[in-house]
């Protein structure tokens, strides 16, 4: 059992939830009167245009409906309602990698969003329910664009700027987007990089749905324009009025889609709702980070991921906080960049991924000592398990031993935090996300739906619906039901299965043990091994391929590919193949899926029915002894052959 760290007493006294008794009391309230608990929150937190008639409708489970009949607009929640008391408060503080700064107040943000919303409506004919793809760098206009869509009821789908043209095209097609909003590019590692050419490439074929492209100029590099299709935001947006009537949205109307990887097939468009999503974004901001009126909150994610959606844009703005947005990499001009920004902006809550902590620890263990980090009150992590080493460095060197670390477990599908410490209440320990938030019924169960005993791995399920849950997979309801409600049952009823394994430790703390499916977690990003295999299979010299994750000291997991090749057998050709295969990956997915290791093998371990035994391949990649029974394999001798090849 690892060490427990009690909450900082000074912080607890001021916190919204001050101790474990208060936490448990809320859990009991939610247990005793589930709908009443959520009803109270939804009334208190959301400024409704029209109140809802019903808290939860389970008639068509798992297509749950929350706050039916209620009308709202998420931008009123994030902007409009703050104008009385916060119009001159900084909503977004943006820092470019080159040191440029922009501070955008709530009133300014309101106007910006309105002008862009008008542009979308008037110039591009975007209507409620239309899909708009955003392929944006980390600039304030990314937030403007998300909110402008929300204002007029369009459904945004942000595609991370690291994805390739092919990946972008897949998403534009799947969403049938009418418009793409992008930028010329931005700056990374001191140099301009480009996005617009990637959009051109994506739209080259098969995207008839997408009629127009709106381009924000950020790095002012030369780009090509397609006449009649491409428009420059900077030139036309100011012609629009700064006032815009918000669309009255149903509580259940989709706010956005965000594509994420599954264990099979193409990435799926996770569909989120308006009311339930914004309620939970706001509530978790307030309670998990305990942000106060004058605080400055910084989440280092990219807006292309759910963390950026909920904790850079929607959550902080819904509660009227000040959110920091940073354009570049953490190591430019040096490894002290983030710490200098915390110092400069007096950041109070800082939220990042373990992979970044490990990198900055390794590359610059002493860098934090050069800065004044005393403004920090709460630290957070997300995306993958954090190892005790990195945790201790974060706790001591960044938090000065006084800031609780909230290790938040959640997913693209959950919309916001599910399992996490509360900074003023929960005694924390390195490597544990601790307990579910009040109202969230997270349970670790076995295949029969029974809770697993302490120390034993089980399936991490959420056994009751929650307001910010995924509503559907865009265009594929069957896949939605199968992916999330097909594997686990409790009391005979299908329940949401996260895809993660977990266990209770001796103290009943929840420890996430990682994915149980064929999804790997590279630097906190989810990648389906099936997607990578499909790409590699496109190479003419690849006969068979299997991809697994292998532990990596910085990235958490690295991508390890076993490949059976045809038509080539010399070593020099293998070196060439490695380059070829990575080119293919970069083209069809993007840099984030680059292979860390490739081994050319004579065959793959398969059962007699032809199923590849990935567990064996995972063990070999880790150089672990094989514990599985290999006698049932079609060719048991293949295991040793592969092992010998991997040892070098
Ligand atoms: C997967 C979700 C949630 C935003 C970022 C990733 C893993 C997430 C933790 C944590 C251990 C974690 C899980 C999960 N994960 N948070 N605190 N400890 N693992 O979102 O891309 O949807 O990935 O990330 O495996 O299923 P995502």
- What number is the average pLDDT over the span 379-383? 97
Q: Is 618's C-beta closer than 6 angstroms to any atom of ligand 1?
A: no
Burial class, 101, CB count within 10 angstroms (exposed 0-12 / middle 13-18 / buried 19+): exposed
Residue 426 labeled ligand binder: no
pLDDT of residue 570: 62
Closest by CA to 218, choosing from 229, 228, 233, 230, is 233
pLDDT of residue 326: 98
- What number is the average pLDDT over the span 536-542? 93
d(CA 337, CA 498): 35
Q: Which of 501, 512, 515, 516 should be mutated for ligand 1, with most atoms under 8 A from CB?
A: 512
Q: Is 7's C-beta closer than 6 angstroms to any atom of ligand 1?
A: no
Given a cut of 60, whether residue 1 has pLDDT beyond it is no
Q: Which of 270, 383, 385 should be mutated for ligand 1, with most atoms under 8 A from CB?
A: 383
Q: Is 54's C-beta closer than 6 angstroms to any atom of ligand 1?
A: no
**Residue closest by Cα to atom 6 of ligand 1:** 383
Residue 108 labeled ligand binder: no
- How far, in Å, from the CA of 525 to the mean position of ligand 1? 8
Q: Is 523's C-beta closer than 6 angstroms to any atom of ligand 1?
A: no
The highest-level CATH class for domain 523-647 is: alpha beta
Question: The tokens of 440 are what?
Answer: 């969230």
d(CA 505, CA 513): 11
Q: Is 409's C-beta closer than 6 angstroms to any atom of ligand 1?
A: yes
d(CA 295, CA 613): 51
- How far, in Å, from the CA of 500 to the mean position of ligand 1? 9
Element of type H or E holding 392: helix 388-393
d(CA 561, CA 570): 18
- How far, in Å, from the CA of 105 to the mean position of ligand 1? 32
Residue 409 labeled ligand binder: yes
- How far, in Å, from the CA of 526 to the mean position of ligand 1? 8
d(CA 314, CA 323): 10
pLDDT of residue 575: 80
What are 588-600's pLDDT values in tens digits? Answer: 999 999 999 999 9
- What number is the average pLDDT over the span 559-580? 82
Q: Is 306's C-beta closer than 6 angstroms to any atom of ligand 1?
A: yes
- What number is the average pLDDT over the span 8-18? 97
Share of the chain above pLDDT 90, in %: 93
Q: Is 410's C-beta closer than 6 angstroms to any atom of ligand 1?
A: yes
Burial class, 484, CB count within 10 angstroms (exposed 0-12 / middle 13-18 / buried 19+): buried
pLDDT band at 498 (very low <50, low <70, confident <90, very high): very high
Angle, alpha carbons 468-471-476 (nearest 5°): 155
**Residue closest by Cα to atom 14 of ligand 1:** 411
Residue identified by tokens 């499909």 is 534
- What number is the average pLDDT over the span 235-240? 98
Q: Is 549's C-beta closer than 6 angstroms to any atom of ligand 1?
A: no
Would strands 101-105 and 71-72 be described as parallel, antiparallel, or unpaired? unpaired
d(CA 185, CA 145): 16
Question: The tokens of 218 are what?
Answer: 């950020």
Element of type H or E holding 277: helix 275-288
Q: At what angle do helices 637-646 and 614-621 cross, to 10 degrees?
A: 30
Residue 579 labeled ligand binder: no
- How far, in Å, from the CA of 418 to the mean position of ligand 1? 10
> At a CB cut-off of 8 Å and minimum separation 6, what does 157 contact?
131, 132, 133, 134, 171, 175, 177, 256, 257, 258, 259, 269
Q: Which of 315, 521, 557 should be mutated for ligand 1, with most atoms under 8 A from CB?
A: 521
List C-alpha distances in Å: 119 to 116, 148, 242, 513, 648: 5, 9, 10, 47, 59
**Residue closest by Cα to atom 5 of ligand 1:** 383
d(CA 616, CA 603): 13
Q: Where are the domains of the chain?
A: 523-647
List C-alpha distances in Å: 150 to 125, 335, 602: 15, 36, 53
- What number is the average pLDDT over the span 537-543? 93
What are 119-169's pLDDT values in tens digits? Answer: 999 999 999 999 999 999 999 999 999 999 999 999 999 999 999 999 999
DSSP character string of 577-620: HHHHHHHHHHHHTBGGG--SEEEE-S---BBTT--B-HHHHHHH
b/e map of 580-619 (b: 16 or more CB within 10 Å)? ebbebbbebbbebbbbeebbbbeebbbeeeeebbbebbbb
Share of the chain above pLDDT 70, in %: 99
Given a cut of 60, whether residue 648 has pLDDT beyond it is no
Residue 188 labeled ligand binder: yes
d(CA 588, CA 387): 32
Q: What is the number of the ligand 1 atom nearest to the C-alpha of 353?
A: 5
Closest by CA to 19, choosing from 428, 377, 426, is 426
pLDDT band at 384 (very low <50, low <70, confident <90, very high): very high
d(CA 16, CA 279): 17
Beta-bridged to residue 419, according to DSSP, are: 409, 436
100, HSE (Cβ side, Cα atoms, 13 Å): 14
- What number is the average pLDDT over the span 13-34? 98
- How far, in Å, from the CA of 496 to the mean position of ligand 1? 15
Residue 632 labeled ligand binder: no
Q: What is the number of the ligand 1 atom nearest to the C-alpha of 499?
A: 26
Q: Is 412's C-beta closer than 6 angstroms to any atom of ligand 1?
A: yes
- How far, in Å, from the CA of 571 to the mean position of ligand 1? 38
ipTM above 0.95, yes or no: yes
């Amino acid at each position: 059992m690892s060490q427990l760290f009690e909450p900082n007493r000074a912080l607890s006294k001021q916190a919204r939830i001050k101790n474990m008794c208060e936490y448990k009391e809320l859990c009991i309230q939610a247990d005793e009167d589930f709908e009443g608990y959520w009803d109270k929150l939804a009334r208190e937190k959301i400024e409704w245009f029209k109140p809802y008639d019903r808290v939860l409708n389970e008639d068509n489970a798992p297509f749950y409906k929350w706050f039916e009949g209620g009308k709202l607009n998420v931008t009123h929640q994030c902007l409009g309602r703050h104008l009385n008391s916060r119009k001159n408060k900084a909503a977004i503080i943006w820092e470019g990698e080159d040191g440029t700064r922009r501070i955008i107040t709530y009133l300014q943000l309101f106007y910006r969003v309105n002008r862009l919303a008008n542009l979308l409506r008037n110039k591009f004919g975007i209507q409620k329910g239309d899909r708009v793809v955003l392929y944006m760098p980390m600039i304030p206009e990314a937030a403007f664009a998300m909110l402008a869509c929300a204002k007029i009821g369009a459904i945004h789908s942000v595609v991370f700027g690291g994805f390739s043209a092919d990946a972008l095209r897949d998403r534009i097609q799947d969403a049938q987007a009418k418009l793409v909003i992008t930028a010329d590019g931005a700056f990374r590692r001191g140099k301009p990089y480009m996005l617009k050419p990637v959009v051109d490439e994506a739209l080259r074929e098969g995207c008839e749905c997408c009629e127009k492209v709106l381009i924000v100029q950020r790095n002012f590099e030369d780009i090509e324009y397609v006449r009649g299709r491409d428009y420059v935001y900077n030139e036309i947006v100011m012609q629009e009025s700064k006032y815009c009537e918000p669309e009255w949205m149903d509580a259940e109307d989709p706010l956005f889609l965000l594509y994420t990887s599954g264990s099979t097939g193409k990435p799926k468009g996770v569909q989120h709702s308006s009311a339930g999503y914004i309620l939970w974004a706001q509530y978790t901001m307030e309670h998990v980070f305990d942000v106060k009126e004058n605080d400055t909150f910084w989440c280092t994610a990219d807006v292309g991921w759910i963390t950026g959606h909920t904790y850079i844009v929607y959550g902080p703005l819904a509660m009227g906080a000040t959110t920091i947005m940073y354009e570049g990499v953490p190591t430019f001009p040096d490894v002290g960049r983030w710490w200098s920004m915390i110092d400069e902006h007096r950041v109070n809550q800082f939220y990042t991924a373990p992979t970044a902590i490990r990198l900055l620890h390794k590359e610059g263990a002493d860098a934090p000592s050069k800065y004044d980090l005393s403004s920090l009150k709460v630290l957070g992590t997300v995306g993958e398990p954090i190892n005790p080493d990195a945790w201790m460095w974060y706790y001591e060197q960044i938090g000065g031993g006084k800031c609780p670390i909230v290790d938040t477990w959640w997913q693209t599908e959950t919309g916001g935090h599910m399992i996490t410490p509360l900074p003023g209440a929960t005694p924390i320990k390195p490597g544990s996300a601790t307990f579910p938030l009040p109202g969230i019924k997270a349970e670790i169960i076995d295949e029969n739906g029974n809770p697993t005993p302490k120390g034993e791995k089980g399936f991490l399920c959420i056994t009751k619906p929650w307001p910010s849950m995924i509503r559907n997979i865009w265009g594929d309801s069957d896949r939605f039901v199968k992916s999330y409600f097909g594997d686990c049952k409790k009391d005979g009823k299908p329940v949401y299965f996260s895809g993660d394994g977990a266990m209770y430790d001796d103290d009943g703390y929840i420890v996430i043990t990682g994915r149980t499916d064929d999804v790997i977690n590279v630097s906190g990003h989810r990648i389906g091994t099936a997607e990578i295999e499909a790409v590699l299979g496109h190479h003419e010299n690849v006969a068979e391929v299997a991809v697994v994750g292998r532990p990596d000291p910085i990235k958490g997991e690295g991508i390890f590919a076993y490949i059976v090749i045809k038509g080539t057998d010399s070593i020099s050709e293998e070196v060439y193949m490695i380059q070829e295969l990575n080119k293919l990956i970069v083209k069809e997915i993007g840099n984030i899926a680059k292979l860390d290791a490739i081994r050319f093998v004579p065959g793959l371990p398969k059962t007699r029915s032809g199923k590849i035994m990935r567990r064996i391949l995972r063990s070999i990649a880790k150089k672990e002894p094989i514990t599985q029974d290999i006698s049932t394999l079609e060719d048991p001798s293949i295991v040793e052959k592969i092992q010998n090849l991997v040892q070098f």
